Amino acid sequence: MEIIRILISELPQFAKGTLIALEVLAGLLALGLVLGLAIALAEIFGNTVVKFFATTLRKFLWAIPQLVLLFLVFYLPFDLNPVCAAIIALGLCSSAFQSQIFRGAILSVQSGQIEAAKAMGLSKPKIIFYIVIPQMIRLSIGPWTNEFSSELKDTSLAYVVGVVEIMRQAKYIIAYTFGNTAAVYLFVGVLYFMLTRIGTYFFYKLEERLWVPGFEKRS
Amino acid sequence: MSTILEVKDLTKKFADTEVLKGISFELKKGETLAVIGSSGSGKSTMLRCLNQLSPPDSGEILLEGVNINTPEIDLNTVRADMGFVFQDFNLFIHLSVLENVMFGPLRVRGLPKKEAREIAMAEIERVGMIDKIDFYPAQLSGGQQQRISIARALALRPKLILFDEPTSALDPELTGEVLGVMTALANDGMTAIVVTHEMGFAQSVADKAIFIDQGIIVEQGVPEQMFAAPRHERTRHFLSNFVGLE
Ligand SMILES: Nc1ncnc2c1ncn2[C@@H]1O[C@H](COP(=O)(O)OP(=O)(O)OP(=O)(O)O)[C@@H](O)[C@H]1O
Ligand SMILES: [Mg+2]
């Protein structure tokens, strides 16, 4: 079982690739979260002009394939390193998805509570900060976990612009496994599976911690 | 007693329908005003115009002599001074009982946490819910939720409180506990406007009553007199729906 020996000896390379993938993932999710939340708030609470720009941006980002945006950002004349380019491109795509998650969650905060806060003399920014966002977070974790695992998989796209993540490491290793290509990809598949399970478990625990009676619980 | 609220010729339209057609009344400090009238007559709209949850079209609302129905007024300050209790409670579901009641002093009044907590504890005590401070709204009965929403309004130390049918969403056996809290408040000298279908409460607790029909005040007066001997046919007709009034 030569291939097992090779895979074991290449574990440090896979670990490096995994760390890079996680770096891209963290970066793109963070960018997608900030921009996605901004888009959602702008679309719901903004005036007509703000709303128009937010909606247009979301629809635009929604429509572009991730690969196209990856190449587009990478070949911008800014000399971005591949990891940054991947984070920006995939983060922009993710923001369109995340904005829809947040939008749904914000709209399911009962309007009566917002009216009650208004009647107490709370300003709009404070209503958003103290009432809407805390409830939105609890309602978003479930769908957000899906977005997390789908983006984890999509970090593999970053290899097209030269990011040395898990897929790129696999390619290097395949070069001298002499025909055991499928075994390497099987190993990569299991690796993604484990990463997804660990991440999902973490978000499930977070959701449990933030749960208070009155919010729907995932079964 | 001094006049705390004076409303002059308040009007409000939704699209083409005139919902309030010139409402005028006066309220003195410490008084409880009962507002009665059939469904759709404009009672909720009137309350919502007072704190401008729906901005009125015209008219004056003098709160302690200052007209608050002008663009120069800071609405949030005015609203903090006018408590509002909703039919369906509208507690903040992600906050515990204590956090709900602390919310006003802390986030609206900007008081330090310790002080906000003291105020909240006193108001929770007042509505008899001190054993439930760590519960969440979803864990409380409707009557308990409404008592907490009253405590939440009181914790802002408002000049007056507006109640919009505070017991209408409650089972009959839960209505009593909320009316009990409101009666105690009235006896403590709180100024209140109460839209209600509880004629017993209006008669025994309110100092004044107004009957609204189709956006105008048809009749106002002392509840006992108004209920015993309504002067207008429309009032008489409305009151005849409530059997057992004496
Ligand atoms: N936001 C709104 N838009 C349009 N029409 C409205 C709005 N709010 C209230 N109305 C109309 O105004 C009229 C008065 O409504 P309002 O809610 O003030 O009645 P009410 O006396 O409180 O009735 P109820 O006892 O059923 O609560 C109704 O005909 C209602 O349909
Ligand atoms: Mg009403």
Q: How many angstroms separate the alpha carbon of residue A11 from the centre of ligand 1?
A: 69
Residue with the bigger pLDDT between A80 and A105: it is A105
- CB spacing of A121 vs B108 below 8 angstroms: yes
> Are residues B12 and B89 both part of a single domain?
no
- CB spacing of B94 vs A112 below 8 angstroms: no
Has residue B228 been placed in a domain? no
Cβ–Cβ < 8 Å for B11, B196: no
Closest residue of chain B to A213, computed from CA coordinates: B138
pLDDT at B153: 97
| Residue A49 CB contacts under 8 Å (≥ 6 apart), including other chains | none
- CB spacing of B53 vs A119 below 8 angstroms: yes
Which of B196, B214, B234 is the last residue in one of the domains?
B196
Share of chain A above pLDDT 70, in %: 99
Instruction: Give me the half-sphere count of Cα atoms (radius 13 Å) on the Cβ side of residue A52.
Output: 3
Which of these, B51, B70, B62, lies nearest to B162 by C-alpha position? Answer: B51
- CB spacing of B53 vs A215 below 8 angstroms: no
**Residue B180 to chain A, least CA–CA distance (Å):** 23
Q: Residue A211 and residue A217: Cα distance in Å, rounded?
A: 8
Strand partners, B13: B18
Cα torsion angle, A108, A110, A115, A116, sign? negative
Domain coverage including residue B89: 74-196
Has residue B212 been placed in a domain? no
To the nearest whole number, what is the mean pLDDT of chain A? 92
Among the partner residues B77, B92, B104, nearest to A113 by beta-carbon distance? B92
- The whole-number mean pLDDT for each consecutive block of 10 residues of chain B, a chain of 246 residues, reads 93 94 95 95 96 94 94 94 96 97 97 97 96 96 96 97 95 92 95 95 94 95 91 91 64
**Residue B202 to chain A, least CA–CA distance (Å):** 24
- Estimate to the nearest angstrom the gap between the alpha carbon of B243 and the chain centroid: 25
CB atoms within 10 A of CB B96: 19
Closest residue of chain B to A134, computed from CA coordinates: B94
Three-class SS state of B89: coil
From the CA of B215, give the closest atom in ligand 1: 14
pLDDT at B245: 56
pLDDT at A175: 83
Confidence (pTM): 0.90
**Nearest residue (CA) to ligand 1, atom 30:** B40
pLDDT at A214: 85
> Are residues B168 and B68 both part of a single domain?
no
Residues B83-115 pLDDT 10s: 999 999 999 999 999 999 999 999 999 999 999
CATH number of domain containing B117? 3.40.50.300
Q: Residue B52 and residue B62: Cα distance in Å, rounded?
A: 13
Residues B112-122 pLDDT 10s: 999 999 999 99
> Are residues B17 and B92 both part of a single domain?
no
pLDDT at A65: 95
pLDDT at B246: 46
Tell me if chain B has a CB within 8 Å of the CB of A140. no
DSSP code, position B104 = I
Burial (Cβ within 10 Å: 0-12, 13-18, ≥19) of residue A162? middle
Cβ–Cβ < 8 Å for B45, B114: no
* pLDDT exceeds 70 at position A132: yes
Cβ–Cβ < 8 Å for B142, B169: yes
DSSP string, B202-232: HHHH-SEEEEEETTEEEEEE-HHHHHHS-SS
Residues A147-163 pLDDT 10s: 999 999 999 999 998 88
Q: How many angstroms separate the alpha carbon of residue B213 from the centre of ligand 1?
A: 12
* Chain A residues with beta carbon closer than 8 angstroms to that of B91: 113, 116
Q: How many angstroms separate the alpha carbon of residue A44 from the centre of ligand 1?
A: 25
Q: How many angstroms separate the alpha carbon of residue B108 from the centre of ligand 1?
A: 29
Please give the single-letter amino acid code of residue A117.
Answer: A
DSSP code, position B5 = E
The answer, yes or no, to whether any atom of ligand 1 lies below 6 A from the CB of B45, is yes
The answer, yes or no, to whether any atom of ligand 1 lies below 6 A from the CB of B42, is yes
> Are residues B160 and B99 both part of a single domain?
yes
* pLDDT exceeds 90 at position A168: no
Q: Residue B44 and residue A98: Cα distance in Å, rounded?
A: 38
Strand partners, B61: B7
Q: How many angstroms separate the alpha carbon of residue B40 from the centre of ligand 1?
A: 5
Cβ–Cβ < 8 Å for B210, B35: yes
Q: Where are the domains of chain A?
A: 2-210
Q: Residue B93 and residue B148: Cα distance in Å, rounded?
A: 12
Q: Residue B170 and residue B175: Cα distance in Å, rounded?
A: 6
- CB spacing of B107 vs A112 below 8 angstroms: no
Provide the number of structural domains found in chain B: 2
DSSP string, B133-164: TT--GGGS-HHHHHHHHHHHHHTT--SEEEEE
pLDDT at A183: 84
CATH number of A2-210: 1.10.3720.10
> Are residues B67 and B83 both part of a single domain?
no
From the CA of B15, give the closest atom in ligand 1: 4
Three-class SS state of A47: coil
* Chain A residues with beta carbon closer than 8 angstroms to that of B88: 112
Residues belonging to chain B with any Cβ–Cβ distance to chain A shorter than 8 Å: 51, 53, 75-81, 84, 86, 88, 90-94, 96, 103-104, 107-108, 136-139, 149, 152-153, 156
Which of B196, B215, B237 is the last residue in one of the domains?
B196
| Residue A131 CB contacts under 8 Å (≥ 6 apart), including other chains | A109, A113, A114, A117, A122, B92
Which of these, B180, B183, B102, B174, lies nearest to B145 by C-alpha position? Answer: B174
| Residue A53 CB contacts under 8 Å (≥ 6 apart), including other chains | A42
Cβ–Cβ < 8 Å for A29, A148: yes
Has residue B243 been placed in a domain? no
**Nearest residue (CA) to ligand 1, atom 22:** B44
Residues A12-64 pLDDT 10s: 888 999 999 999 999 999 999 999 999 999 999 999 999 999 999 999 999 99
> Are residues B84 and B183 both part of a single domain?
yes
pLDDT at A4: 82
**Nearest residue (CA) to ligand 1, atom 4:** B14
* pLDDT exceeds 70 at position A218: no
pLDDT at B189: 94
> Are residues B22 and B78 both part of a single domain?
no
For residue A43, what are its two tokens? 């679309």
Has residue B41 been placed in a domain? no
Diameter of chain A measured on Cα atoms: 72
